[in-house]
Structure formats: structure tokens, C-alpha cells
Amino acid sequence: MAKCLTLIREGHEVKIPRSKLIELRLFDEDPGLLGRRSYEVESEVASDSLDVFARVVQGLEYEINKSNYSDLIKLRNEFGLDDADFEERLSKFVDLPVNKLDLLERLARYEGELRDVQRELGDVKGQYREQERELRDVKEQCRRQERMIYNMEHVQRASSEEHDKVKSELVNIMKQFEASEERLIAREKHEEERERLERVAREKERKESEAKERKQRAAREKQEEQERREREEMRQQIEHLKGVIEVKEREEKKSPARMTPAERASLEYGKIVVERPRPTGGNRFDGFMSWLKSKNGRNAHEAGVIVITASNSMNWGQVSQVIDDSQKYWGVNAMTNASLTFDLKSYFICLDGYSIRSCNQGKDWYHLRSWKIEGSNDSVSWTRLDHRVTDELNDKSVERTFSCNEASNEFFRYLKLTQTGKNCYGDDLLTLATIEFFGTVRSKE
């Protein structure tokens, strides 16, 4: 074990013999401290006060003043020295009254409190300085935030300018796009117009081709019909001549003066095949033409059983339509005394009346207003059977039945309808939908 204990205070060392420490009963509360080589003093004392403390403990001479006296009191308290023994050692070289020592002790205590207050003040100043630093930090943060706000505003202004620039470019692009779109629409319209014109041209060409084909077909049909009619007329003339020869031969056998009218009619026109003097069952068009259609299974003119001839070229429809019980209408181009002739060929009719249906058009159209019905056996000499001037047919699809007001008991091969004045429109165009004949019909077949 070392003979001395080294006291250390902030690097300053003072050695005290252990015998003196044992003598003064130092560290009685903690005897283990005596075995140390050194001891770090905890009290805040000056280094010269530590030297004075060591001299006091060893009983050596020393100089004391107000400052080191308070330090000695601190060291005494830290080492737990007996107050009376310590005071005795202090007073060994200093002749001080006891009350003065008390004053010095109180003064030292007050100075210690003052130092505590100064230390607290230092702490307060430190806190104040810390708060100042915090305030400076806050100000610095505010300045940084202001700089950030300024930078953000600058960036925002730059962004706004960039946005305006982009917006302007976008507007320009949109204008270019709209102009391009307008050009595209104009091009599409031009293409559509070109395609439309091409379609119109093709359609016109097709119609012209169809019209040309129709004209050619109509010309061929007309020629064929003319040839057929001529052949038929020639055949009829031959048959008529044969009939005349037969009649003459029979007349030679039997004198006509001795025959009854019925025998003479039967001899000249053949036997009775139809007797329909007027419409029956409310049907105004169930007459001779209807009977021919049911007998031949089709339109009598189209079947070649009779021949219908118009005085002028067709304006609407086909001439065969006038004997079909339908709403379709027929008409010829305007001419004075336009007519429609029916060649019954092998049939002869004693006409009692007839029915007419007007066209499916409204009032004051080209409806019949004045006409006459005539009969003939040679298509040269004509006998008038009826004559009318009336507005009864001046409306859409009007049906009327007329009795022959000048009827005779004669039989005729030919019947003719002639328009004798202006129609309801004040024109010479002859048109109607349907006509039907009623009476007694004979035939030599």
C-alpha cells in the first residue's frame, strides 16, 4: 500500500501521508478509500486551496484568506473531518476569534450560494442563448421557407409561362388540326361529289341503255303485233268470206223472207253464247269482257281473242288495261275526237249498256266528260248507240253504269268509244281505268 494518498483536482496533484489521514480519521465512513493511490476531488476548489488543505491536514504552516477558507470548508465537508479538530488545526497558525470564523464560514456559504445563483444565472443565460439559437434557427427556417416560397413562385411563374407557351403551341396545333380536318372534309366531300356524279352518269347511261332497249323491244313487239294483226285480219277475212259463202249457200236453200229475226241473226251471227243485259250481284264489271277473261284464263286482248286499238299513241299504260277490273289507268296523247276501238273478231254483240271506272285521280283531272258509243260490222259505217255529256266521272275511281239511249236490236262486231269534247281538265287527252259491255253476244265458233 502506498504511503501517500494523492489528491487530484483538474490535473493538480497533492500528496498527503496516510498516517495523517488515519490520525484525522479521514474516510471513516468509507475505510476502503484509504487503500487507493489517488482520489479525485469532487468539490470545486482552487488548486492553491488544495495545497493549503494538505498543509492543514499535516499540521504545517499555511496562509489563509477569504477565498481558500471557503474552499477548505468544502474540502472538510467532502472528507468528513471533525469540525472541532479541523478548526483547531486552522487556528494553529491563524489567530482568529470564533465569531469571525463563523462569519467567514457564513461568508463562504453566501459566496457558495452566490456562485450557485451565478451558476443558475449562467444556466438561465445558457437557456436564453439556447432560446436565441432556437429563435435564430426558426428565423433561418423562415428565411429558408421564404426562399423556398420565392423559388416556388419563381418556378410557378416559369411553369405558368411554360404552360402558356405549351397552351399557345397546343392552340396552334389545334388550329392546324382543324385546318387539316377541314381540308380532309373538303377532300371527302369532293370525293363524295365525284362518286355521286359518277353514279349519276352511270345511272343516266343505264337508263338511256334501258330506254333504248325498251324502244327497240317496243318496236319489235309493235312490228310483231302488226304482223300478227295483219295475219289475224287476213284469217278473219277468209273466215268471213267463208261465212258469207255459207250464208249464200244457205240462202239459196232457204229464202230469208221465210226466216224469223232470230233465225236470220243465228244464220248471220251464230248462236248466243252470253246474255248479260245488265250488271248482276252489284258488280258493275261482270260483263262480256269478264266472261271472255274467265273463258280464256287471261286478258282477251293479250290472248288475241279480241283486238283493242287506240286512235293515237299511248301516254300511260297499255291498251289492254281498259278491260281489266283494276285501278290502273290508261290514256292516249291528246287529239280531237280521240277514240278506242274494240274488234270482237268472232263475236257479235247487241249492246244494252256499259260500265266505266274513272282514273284514281282527284277532281278536275283528265276524266271523261263527253263521249259516244258506236257499233259497226265493217269498221267503216258506224251506228251511234249512246251519247253522253256529264260530270259524273269527275272524281277519283268513280264507277258508273250507262244504258244505251239509242240502242238497236242489231249485232255488231266492232264497238268504238269516242271522246266528243274536252275532258274535265279542259284537254283532249282520252283516259280511263276500266270499261265493260253488257248485252247479248253471239258467235259462229
Segment (H or E) for 17 = strand 12-17
pLDDT tens profile 298-354: 999 999 999 999 888 766 778 888 888 777 777 888 889 999 999 999 899 999 999
Q: Residue 96's pLDDT is what?
A: 46
What pLDDT score was predicted for residue 34?
63
Looking at the domain 4-96, which fold is it?
Potassium Channel Kv1.1; Chain A (3.30.710)
**In the predicted model, is pLDDT for residue 27 greater than 60?**
no
Give this prediction's pTM.
0.44
Residues 424/391, Cβ–Cβ less than 8 Å: yes
- For residue 127, what pLDDT is reported? 84
Phi first, then psi, for residue 60 (nearest 5°) are -95, 165
pLDDT in tens, 196-239: 998 999 999 899 989 999 899 899 988 999 998 888 888 888 88
- Cα–Cα distances (Å) from 339 to 308, 309, 420, 433, in that order, read 11, 8, 9, 15
User: Are 326 and 434 in contact, with CB atoms under 8 Å apart?
Assistant: yes
All three cell numbers of 178, joined, read 382543324
- Could you report the per-residue pLDDT of 36-48, keeping only the tens digit for each? 777 787 777 777 7
Question: Where would I find the H helices in 361-432?
Answer: none
Confidence of residue 3 (pLDDT cuts 50, 70, 90): confident
pLDDT band at 64 (very low <50, low <70, confident <90, very high): low
In the chain, where the domains are located: 4-96, 270-443
Tell me whether the CATH fold assigned to 4-96 matches the one assigned to 270-443: no
What's the gap between Cα 204 and its chain centre?
36
Among 74, 66, 122, CA closest to 96: 66
Count other C-beta atoms under 10 Å from residue 376's C-beta: 17
Looking at residue 51, what is its pLDDT? 79
Residues 86 and 76 sit within 8 Å (Cβ to Cβ): yes
Q: Which residues pair with 400 in a beta bridge?
A: 356
* Mean of pLDDT over the chain: 81
The per-residue pLDDT for 99 is 47
Domain 270-443: give its CATH code: 2.60.120.260
With 70 as the cut, is the pLDDT of residue 140 above it? yes
CA distances (Å), origin 110, targets 42, 81, 113: 20, 21, 5
Strand order across the beta sheet in which 434-443 lies: 271-276, 434-443, 347-357, 399-403
Map residue 406 onto helix, strand or coil.
coil
- Judged against a pLDDT cut of 80, whether residue 393 lies above it is answered with yes
